[in-house]
């Protein structure tokens, strides 16, 4: 990490504690590695991000519905999803320092005995890497036995697949549509690190968007639109297959990141290479953010085919296919030769898949079901971490400024330039003087008026400059000062008006109290 950036990270961590964004979990007992709490400012920031995600991903759309599933699921879910067998990290032990590390992170993990050295430089002999499953285990009920073993979910996605049929049948939705969910996830990370970036308990924001297989689109539209540079992704179209939907959701997610205040030039895409992709994934793109500790994954958008529903169908024995009348009608127009050509093409593609091939009989059966309008929808999955998003937003907002007061004294101060939409407090409310009851009464009146619509913080302690500075440090975009003009003592024209100061730039406006809530709400968005 470059010196300046590591310094920025230290200052950010210190501000987050000082101003109530993030605390170490169980701090008075020495903390617990990989677990973090959000203080008053952090809880509001997270709630704003969470609400914006929910609003954007479901309420603003006709084609996405929500789900709120349990954290503990039937253990067979995790066998079907592959987590029991393959959700592992390679772990090694150091025979000298006794530390336990991820084998793929030896080069940049500090040695506990010699923190100035990374583990790779520590001369201690390492054990051979072995697979360590990241799922937290628990037991359901009073008996601790293998039959009662359960897991805390390592992702929210699986419950969406498991409840797919219930949602589909109860919600009057049609393919393509999505199910989204927000909730806690737990991973027993070998090396939690970079503050909240890799934690053991965190919150996910996930969407599983279910689409028709490309073969169905071909039957319906005669063609499947291919993505090309500069393609219009603003409006989904009937002839979109998985590739266009994947690009579309990637663009939607990038736009969301920009909308919550992440600068466009701090974001980049990393397309996973063929050998990095999960065997079932058609494509995965990571949205990367320039954190102070390097460019790292913020969220991912994966095209998962029908893998998850297929696995759950096989393991549960319950049919998870949908029936699509339009697809059936489209294939009814095909000749036998056309259908056979499709079967042969799919068999050839399947043979190319090598170990992952399902065999000609299974392929033919899949095609026959499709011709009758039955299929397992394919999935595009934008999957984000709320804690990572909050950290990115905090890091992007952190800024230091120099200001010179009337006496020429220069001061360095911290301003969190949070987007007004995500800022924990939208408006600071300040009576100019706390020992003037008329000012205090008026300020409280303004507070009561605004708090119904906006998160406010009333502060009468210290100089106005100090009060502004305190709000700047938590990113409050507006400060409202109630002064003698508000009381109309000198100039009746200014009665019932207040001074509004903008955090960024310090511009001041004189606004009538009766239009104040609207004026602020319009600027906060």
Q: Interface residues for ligand GAP in 182-241 (CB under 6 A)?
A: 187, 189, 198-199, 202, 204, 206
Q: Tell me the C-alpha to C-alpha distance, in Å, between residue 295 and each of 5, 325, 357, 396, 415.
A: 12, 46, 36, 13, 23
Residue 208 Cβ, how far from ligand GAP at the closest point, in Å? 8
Residue 81 Cβ, how far from ligand GAP at the closest point, in Å? 9
Please, is 502 exposed, middle or buried when counting C-beta atoms within 10 Å of its C-beta (0-12, 13-18, 19+)?
A: middle
Contact 369, 384 (CB under 8 A): no
Using CB under 6 A, pick the residue from 111, 384, 500, 516 that binds ligand GAP.
Answer: 384
Distance CA 355, CA 365 (A): 19
Residue 305 Cβ, how far from ligand GAP at the closest point, in Å? 14
Q: Is 383 in the site for ligand GAP (CB under 6 A)?
A: yes
Residue linked to tokens 């032990």: 93
Residue 108 Cβ, how far from ligand GAP at the closest point, in Å? 16
Contact 175, 159 (CB under 8 A): no
User: Would you say 224 or 302 has its CB closer to ligand GAP?
Assistant: 302
User: Would you say 381 or 485 has its CB closer to ligand GAP?
Assistant: 381
Distance CA 402, CA 100 (A): 44
User: Would you say 266 or 344 has its CB closer to ligand GAP?
Assistant: 266
| Residue sitting closest to ligand GAP (CB) | 385
Q: Is 308 in the site for ligand GAP (CB under 6 A)?
A: no
User: Would you say 187 or 426 has its CB closer to ligand GAP?
Assistant: 187
Distance CA 35, CA 49 (A): 20
Distance CA 81, CA 77 (A): 6
Residue 412 Cβ, how far from ligand GAP at the closest point, in Å? 32
User: Would you say 25 or 455 has its CB closer to ligand GAP?
Assistant: 25
Q: Which two tokens stand for residue 353?
A: 């898949």
Question: Which residues face 67 on adjacent strands?
Answer: 181
Q: Is 21 left (phi over 0), alpha (psi -120 to 50) or beta?
A: alpha
Size of the site for ligand GAP (CB under 6 A): 19
Q: Which two tokens stand for residue 185?
A: 């996830």
Q: Is 178 in the site for ligand GAP (CB under 6 A)?
A: no
Distance CA 453, CA 427 (A): 11
Residue 157 Cβ, how far from ligand GAP at the closest point, in Å? 4
User: Would you say 197 or 248 has its CB closer to ligand GAP?
Assistant: 197
User: What does the binding site for ligand GAP look like in residue numbers (CB under 6 A)?
Assistant: 155, 157, 187, 189, 198-199, 202, 204, 206, 297-300, 381, 383-385, 387-388
């Amino acid at each position: 990490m470059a010196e300046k950036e590591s310094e920025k990270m230290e200052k950010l961590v210190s501000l987050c504690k000082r101003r109530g964004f993030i605390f170490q979990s169980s701090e008075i007992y020495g903390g617990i590695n990989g677990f973090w709490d959000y203080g008053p400012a952090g809880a509001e920031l997270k709630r704003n991000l969470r609400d914006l995600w929910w609003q954007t991903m479901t309420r603003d759309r006709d084609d996405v519905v929500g789900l709120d599933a349990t954290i503990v699921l039937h253990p067979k879910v995790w066998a079907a999803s592959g987590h029991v067998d393959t959700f592992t990290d390679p772990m090694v032990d150091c025979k000298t320092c006794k530390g336990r590390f991820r084998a793929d992170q030896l080069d940049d993990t500090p040695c506990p005995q010699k923190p100035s050295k990374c583990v790779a430089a520590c001369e201690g002999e390492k054990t051979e890497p072995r697979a360590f499953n990241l799922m937290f285990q628990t037991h359901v009920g009073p008996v601790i036995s293998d039959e009662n073993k359960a897991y805390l979910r390592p992702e929210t996605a699986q419950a969406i697949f498991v409840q797919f049929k219930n949602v589909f049948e109860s919600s009057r939705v049609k393919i393509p549509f999505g199910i989204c969910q927000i909730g806690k996830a737990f991973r027993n990370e070998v090396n939690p690190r970079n503050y909240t970036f890799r934690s053991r308990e965190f919150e996910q924001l996930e969407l599983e968007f279910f689409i028709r297989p490309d073969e169905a689109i071909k039957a319906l539209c005669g063609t499947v639109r291919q993505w090309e540079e500069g393609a219009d992704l603003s409006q989904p179209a009937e002839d979109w297959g998985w590739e266009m939907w994947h690009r579309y959701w990637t663009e939607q997610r990038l736009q969301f990141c920009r909308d919550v205040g992440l600068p466009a030039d701090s974001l980049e895409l990393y397309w996973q290479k063929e050998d990095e992709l999960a065997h079932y994934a058609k494509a995965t793109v990571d949205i990367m953010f320039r954190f102070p500790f390097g460019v790292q994954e913020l969220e991912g958008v994966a095209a998962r085919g029908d893998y998850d529903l297929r696995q759950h169908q096989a393991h549960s024995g319950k049919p998870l296919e949908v029936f699509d009348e339009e697809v059936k009608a489209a294939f009814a127009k095909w000749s036998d030769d056309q259908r056979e050509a499709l079967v042969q093409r799919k068999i050839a593609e399947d043979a190319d898949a090598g170990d992952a091939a399902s065999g000609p009989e299974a392929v033919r059966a899949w095609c026959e079901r499709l011709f009758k309008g039955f299929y397992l929808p394919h999935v595009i999955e934008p999957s984000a971490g709320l804690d990572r998003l909050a950290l990115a937003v905090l890091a992007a907002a952190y800024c230091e400024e120099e200001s010179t007061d009337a006496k020429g004294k220069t001061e360095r101060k911290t301003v969190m330039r949070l987007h007004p939409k995500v800022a924990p407090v939208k408006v600071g409310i300040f009576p100019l003087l706390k020992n003037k009851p008329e000012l205090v009464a008026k300020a409280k009146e303004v507070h009561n008026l605004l708090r119904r619509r906006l998160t406010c913080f009333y502060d009468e302690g210290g100089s106005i400059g100090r009060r502004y500075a305190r709000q700047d440090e938590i990113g409050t975009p507006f400060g409202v000062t109630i002064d003698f003009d508000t009381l109309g003592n000198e100039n009746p024209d200014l009665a019932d008006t207040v001074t509004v100061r903008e955090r960024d730039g310090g511009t001041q406006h004189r606004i009538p109290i009766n239009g104040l809530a609207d004026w602020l709400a319009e600027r906060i968005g």
